[in-house]
Structure 1
Amino acid sequence: MTLCRDELKVFEGRVAAAGGEGKDPVNEAMIRHWCEAMGDTSPAYRGPEAIAPPTMLQVWTMGGLSGHEGRARAYDELLALLDGAGYTSVVATDCEQEYLRPLRPGDTITFDAVIESVSALKKTKLGSGHFVTTRMDVRAGGELAGTHRFRILKYAPANGEPTVRRQQKARPRPVVNRDNAGFWDGVAEHRLLIQRCTACDMLRFPWLPGCNACGGQEWDTVEASGEGTVYSYVVMHHPPFPAFDPPYAVGLVELAEGVRIISNVVGVPCDRVRIGMAVRLEFLRADEELELPVFRAVEGGAADSGSEA
């Protein structure tokens, strides 16, 4: 079923959430957890004058399992309309953030959201559908601190058995942009490249446009030796997804150089992956167009206890 443009445009500008309140004020504990997970050692996020990492903007608005009160009907009505027209699948496509003032421990967070735009019908490799963009205005103590735009695609899966089979074989493609293109160029040459700040020599991964330790903008690269250990991991059982065959292990691997990377742990049954297990880099030919760095368990490698999710 094809929806006319007017049926969708009427939703633009309507409220998606009103009077939302952050479950917790900005706090040092959550900032510490974020920085540890991201490997961000910037001194700006510690001490009595600490600020929250700007990219945590959305974190303070999340409702957790219990959700938030104040979600407006308009968003649910729009999704129901798209579902009824056959656009029953959904995938998050991207987000954009704008930062207007730093957030500091103790700030109380409120937010409102609107449906900013609903696209005309678009054809994608996944299928035809509509892009829905919401804009959330995030406030600290009543003052606008930033905006968060989140975009999804509501689509009808492409028809035809041959197309479905191709989708089942093809891994999702990484987003390659000017900030990380050098990393993927290295992968194509079977080299795992780590950024190094030329101002303070700090290594960083994943790739970033600036140093998260000193703020330096200049950098070069070092090639990882390929040796590492499993720092943490999960075993994915659900949901099933085309091109993946659960259960499989996803590891946070600490490289010998000290940075960490998320990738698959292979070469051993997923229920035998353990924290502390030694692994070694190799490159997986996912399909005719894509190679990915993965980590193979080293026979006899050390292991501690682990957890499964």
Structure 2
Amino acid sequence: MYDRLRAFEGRPAATAAQGRDPVNQPMIRHWCEAMGDTNAAYTGPDAVAPPTMLQAWTMAGLSGHSDDGGRSSAHDELFALLDGAGCTSVVATDCEQEYLRPLRPGDTVTFDSVIESVSPRKTTKLGTGHFVTTRTDIRANGELAGTHRFRILKYAPAARSKPQEDPKPRRPRPVINRDNQGFWDGVRRHRLLIQRCTACTTLRFPWLPGCNHCASPDWDTVEASGAGTVFSYVVMHHPPFPAFDPPYAVALVELAEGVRIISNITGVPYDTVRIGMPVQLEFLRVDDDFELPVFRASEA
């Protein structure tokens, strides 16, 4: 089986495929607004695209890729082979990007993709399967601008035994590292802490190792008042997930301090949540040793 999988290594997945749109300022603006990135390099007549948008210019959108876009059937054939071997589930694991030159509004994007590697069968907590790495070389007006490596795991889900004593699953735990430890320490003390750059005083959330406005690595914190409004929201109906009971509202809350946080809305039915609705911070204990910041709204 592995010999059949390895035969896909080096096969092109796309050759001289063209991005659906040239690099353009509206997409750059939407990206920066979503990321909260206010760097001046991404605005004005000499604007460049944020480097991390590299893959965005190759994506097909909701309507999918066109048949004449230079793409091959290699991925479909590989995935069909893995599906047939029982590896019917997929999860993205990581990506690596290398930037060689900035992308600017008006640049025409073309790209070549190749299936770079297929790993031997690996056993993970999710199940057993194979890691598939695809490398995409992205060009602007024919000049190599960057390389994007994207890795997925195609796997057969592991059989899971049901808990004997506590049938109710626990909420997933956040990954806590040196960059966000202080935030979760604050949550345990019922304080919602926002990072503040000590060089330019810009507030930022979520927590980052450096300022996205002036690039200073130095910061302190301010405590949020807890007041906010619903900036945007979605109602989750599917897929069902252990420890969650859909439908429920997930909102992007704009705090009074100006930064935004994603959280749940409590206190009102999910179908009454609206943009602009005022909300107030509270802390929800979801089990014996885990609390989360959520936001309570009033039906009035």
- Residues 51-130 of structure 1: matches in 2 within 5 Å? 51-68=48-65, 69-130=69-130
Measure, in 2, the Cα distance between the counterparts of 1:166 and 1:70. 52
Deviation at 1:166, TM superposition (A): 8.8
Whether the aligned pair in 2 keeps the contact of 1:233 and 1:251 (CA below 8 Å) is: yes
Whether the aligned pair in 2 keeps the contact of 1:195 and 1:207 (CA below 8 Å) is: yes
Q: Which amino acid aligns with 1:153?
A: L
- Residues 168-207 of structure 1: matches in 2 within 5 Å? 169-207=169-207
Two-structure CA RMSD over aligned residues (Å):
2.4
Match of 2:233 in 1: 233
TM-score normalized by the length of structure 2: 0.90
Measure, in 2, the Cα distance between the counterparts of 1:50 and 1:165. 58
Measure, in 2, the Cα distance between the counterparts of 1:191 and 1:14. 52
Deviation at 1:164, TM superposition (A): 12
Count of equivalent residues: 297
Between 1:161-170 and 1:183-192, the stretch displaced more is 161-170
| Residue 48 to residue 165, structure 1, CA distance change in 2 (3 Å) | farther
1:58 match: secondary structure: helix
Measure, in 1, the Cα distance between the counterparts of 2:281 and 2:200. 27
Whether the aligned pair in 2 keeps the contact of 1:131 and 1:151 (CA below 8 Å) is: yes
Q: Which amino acid aligns with 1:257?
A: E
Which of residues 11, 14, 35 is equivalent to 2:11? Answer: 14
Deviation at 1:249, TM superposition (A): 0.7
Measure, in 2, the Cα distance between the counterparts of 1:100 and 1:88. 36
Measure, in 2, the Cα distance between the counterparts of 1:155 and 1:167. 26
Q: Which amino acid aligns with 1:243?
A: A
Deviation at 1:139, TM superposition (A): 1.2
Pair 1:159 & 2:156 matched: no
Match of 2:38 in 1: 41
Deviation at 1:170, TM superposition (A): 3.9
Q: Which amino acid aligns with 2:190?
A: H
Between 1:255-264 and 1:236-245, the stretch displaced more is 236-245
Unaligned runs of 5+ in 1: 301-309
Whether the aligned pair in 1 keeps the contact of 2:268 and 2:298 (CA below 8 Å) is: no
Measure, in 2, the Cα distance between the counterparts of 1:191 and 1:17. 49
| Residue 236 to residue 165, structure 1, CA distance change in 2 (3 Å) | farther
Which of residues 8, 27, 31 is equivalent to 2:28? Answer: 31
Whether the aligned pair in 2 keeps the contact of 1:280 and 1:298 (CA below 8 Å) is: no
| Residue 208 to residue 114, structure 1, CA distance change in 2 (3 Å) | same
2:162 match: secondary structure: helix
Superposed CA offset, 1:123-166 (max 9, x none)? 22222222222121111111121222222221212214427999
Whether the aligned pair in 1 keeps the contact of 2:129 and 2:156 (CA below 8 Å) is: yes
Match of 2:146 in 1: 146
Deviation at 1:72, TM superposition (A): 1.9
Whether the aligned pair in 2 keeps the contact of 1:88 and 1:155 (CA below 8 Å) is: yes
Between 1:169-178 and 1:36-45, the stretch displaced more is 169-178
Unaligned runs of 5+ in 2: none
Deviation at 1:299, TM superposition (A): 5.2
Match of 1:259 in 2: 259
Deviation at 1:181, TM superposition (A): 3.4
Match of 1:214 in 2: 214
Measure, in 1, the Cα distance between the counterparts of 2:209 and 2:137. 25
Deviation at 1:277, TM superposition (A): 1.3
Q: Which amino acid aligns with 1:59?
A: A
Whether the aligned pair in 2 keeps the contact of 1:169 and 1:287 (CA below 8 Å) is: no
| Residue 56 to residue 282, structure 1, CA distance change in 2 (3 Å) | same
